[in-house]
Amino acid sequence: MYALAEAGHQVYLAASRILIPDHPNMKILAGHNEKLTPRHIRMTVAKAASAMKFDAVHAMDAAAPFCVQICRVRKIKLIYDASRCFTGKFAQPISKRWKWFPNHYAAKERQLLRKADAVMVSQALLVSDLKSVYNDVEPVLMEDVPLQSLWPSRESGSAQLNQRLEEPASFLVVCCVDGASHSNLRKLLMAARKVIDTLPGVSVVFRGLSAEAAEPMAVSLDIGKRCCFLGPDEVELYLSALDIASAALFVPDAEKRYVSPELFTLLNSQAPVVHVQDAATDGMLSETNSVPVLLHTDSMAEGLLHVLQEPLFSLGLSTEARQLMADHYSLSSFKHKLRMLYHETLNKT
């Protein structure tokens, strides 16, 4: 959406917790820093479509199925931005209802893929997954871009981070968690404790953990003053932490089939990335751009200590990782592909 706004298009947004920088060509209809119900989003889109003339509706994920009817009635182009399959072999259903009535909703998803004027995806694997649902669909692959591309002029948050950490840090580790069970939470904090015990100047910034559950456990492990737990809306503070981090740890959600967008942001930072091994990242990560570890306390701690204690090795990893991002996941490339997609779709009869 930001790329379309920069290209001169007027963009209207309706979504839960919109976390992108302001732009004069973007107007938020609903969802700024608030969680919306699907019904609220449907009503907002329907009202806007009846009140204004739109060239296209860019529908993301679960918002797409109900946009099919709106676009058909109002004769608006529909661009479906898919991030998963709702039905079929690799289904990630929108709700329990989609599980209870698979045949009905499989037909609904096929209708969405058939009626959409364009389908775009950010994962190569999702192309084949969507074709297994509706073979005639031809998704356009448009890789994700790092969050740093959207906040290039952010102010350094190092002073704010130091206040949150309570004690000054000689080394800063950023830990990004994409889905965490209670057992994994303890493993992560125990790994942080081992790193802090070995290098007393280390502090850890966590993203993706519930502060309500994590903070008391960190205090009980005597590392509370060395840990900071960021909320999902503290994007600029998170990016500021990555700007000064000495290492980053990525813990993927083992139940997810696709690469998390969070990984692109970590690889684009100055920090060397240590990652918990996961099948989804096999084709993207290697030992030349990251350090693979297991989801065990000792393994994660050893991986972090390795990059913290060997700066030349770490520099090589981060250089390779940033080159990977520059070659395949740049904002300029994304903008070009998106503009071409819209140009072709809007001029298609």
Q: What are the pLDDT digits (tens) for 84-105?
A: 999 999 999 999 999 999 999 9
The burial class, CB within 10 Å (0-12 / 13-18 / 19+), for 153 is exposed
Give CA–CA dist 11/22, Å, rounded. Answer: 11
Q: What is the pLDDT of residue 154?
A: 65
Burial class (CB within 10 angstroms; exposed 0-12, middle 13-18, buried 19+) of 75 = exposed
Q: How many residues does the chain have?
A: 349
The C-alpha atoms of residue 211 and residue 216 are separated, in whole angstroms, by: 8
Rounded to the nearest 5°, which phi and psi values hold at 80? -100, 115
For domain 149-328, which architecture applies?
A: 3-Layer(aba) Sandwich (3.40)
Which pLDDT value is given to residue 271? 96
Cα–Cα–Cα angle for 282, 314, 327, rounded to 5 degrees: 55
Q: pLDDT tens for residues 28-87? A: 887 666 677 778 888 888 888 889 999 999 999 888 998 999 999 999 999 999 999 999
3-class SS letters over the chain: CHHHHHCCCCEEEECCCCCCCCCCCEEEEECCCCCCCHHHHHHHHHHHHHHCCCCEEEEEHHHHHHHHHHHHHHCCEEEEEECCECCCCCECCCCHHHHHCHHHHHHHHHHHHHHCCEEEECCHHHHHHHHHHCCCCCCEECCCCCHHHCCCCCCCCHHHHHHHHCCCCCEEEEEEECCCCHHHHHHHHHHHHHHHHHCCCEEEEEECCCHHHHHHHHHHCCCHHHEEEECCCCHHHHHHHHHHCCEEEEECCCCCCCCCCHHHHHHCCCCCEEEECCHHHCCCCCCCCCEEECCCHHHHHHHHHHHHHCHHHHHHHHHHHHHHHHHHCCHHHHHHHHHHHHHHHHCCC
Residue reference for tokens 């592909």? 337
Where in the chain are the domains?
2-145+330-346, 149-328
Residues of the chain with pLDDT under 70: 17-18, 31-34, 153-158, 180-182
Question: What predicted TM-score, i.e. pTM, was given to this entire model?
Answer: 0.88
Q: What is the pLDDT of residue 156?
A: 61
Q: Which residues, other chains included, contact 303 with Cβ-Cβ below 8 Å and sequence gap of 6+?
A: 249, 274, 291, 292, 293
Q: Using only C-alpha atoms, what is the Rg of the chain? A: 21
Residue holding tokens 């182009």?
A: 77
CATH topology of domain 2-145+330-346: Rossmann fold (3.40.50)
Give the list of residues 6+ apart from residue 143 with CB closer than 8 angstroms, or none: 122, 328, 329, 333, 334
Reference 270, options 223, 228, 318; nearest CA is 318
Domains 2-145+330-346 and 149-328 share a fold: yes
Question: Which strands make up the sheet holding 202-207, listed edge to edge?
Answer: 227-230, 202-207, 171-177, 247-251, 273-276, 291-293
Question: Quick one: pLDDT at residue 14?
Answer: 82
> Is 122 within 8 Å of 83 (Cβ atoms)?
yes
